[in-house]
Structure 1
Amino acid sequence: MSAKKLKKERLKKHLFTKNRLVILNDDTFEEIFSLRLTLMNVFVVAGVGAILIIFVTTFIIAFTPLREYIPGYPSTELKRNATELALKSDSLEFAIKKNEAYLQSIQKVLNGNLEYAKVNKDSILAIAVDTLPDLELTPSEKEMELRREVEQEEQKSPVKPSQKGKK
């Protein structure tokens, strides 16, 4: 046999040789605990134990407030404050836009560019609100074809659409 094969056989024999772990009382030499082990069993138990410890640690860090102590993770209070501040800043921006539109219209009136009877605070504020552009809502040819196919399938189907959820 080659040297590699002999080495593998010796390692295999060494891994699967049964050994006994005995715990004795030092004063009386009484056997307290005894366990038969192989080196492979020790490796397997140690590996499973390490994986279990890693899993439990990851679980504890991910799903408890401990994650806030790790650099890079924001606290829940910080997230809540950021959300509140974002909402407040949006509403303040909107209020500023309304006030600027109102002031511009007042300046126009004072400069004489606009008639006094046409100035109304409510109408100015309504103009300042951003509106969505008009969208073309006519269906395309492909969409019409899909609608026809769906209608044909519904006509062929014995189950009504309102009864699908009940079955």
Structure 2
Amino acid sequence: MSLRQIEIPADDWQSQDTAVVHKTLADVSANPAVARAWRGSIALKFADTDMLEEHHPYLNPAITGFLHRAYTELPYLLYFLNPERENGALDTFFASIGALCQTNEAAWVIWSDDIGSAYYAALTAAAEFAVKCGDDWVAVVRGYEQRQSIFEEIREVLVARGVLLA
């Protein structure tokens, strides 16, 4: 699978204008076969971040605001993002909810029950989107999480919502 980058111009992330991401994914999502082909293939690239004072661009308030808005508008965004650690999908999510903190050497996730609930909700949204596209929701979740109990929890939610049969 080839990695597709969505370039987010500095003016867009500084003003929290998610139109480029929203339009790209709306076009892709319009056709389930195309959506399936794009699953896990996107990396977000923020332009002009080399001048930021933050060591990690996802700690910049304008970028975190952009990400918060993107995940609010597209709760299934993890479906499309490439789950490989080096592509930053989970960092985008955790930044969007204010769960990243910076140390001298790296950015870390501050974990709490609320952060865990938000993470599982995002995985559930991606799983639900997968089902609606005729895709394998377990494979989508497995890209991010290996814990068997999460699959059972998400399945229960999908059944309760009528997305999956009991």
TM range (shorter): under 0.3
Larger Rg: 1
Tell me which protein shows more helix as a share of its residues.
Answer: 1
Q: TM-score, normalised by structure 1?
A: 0.17
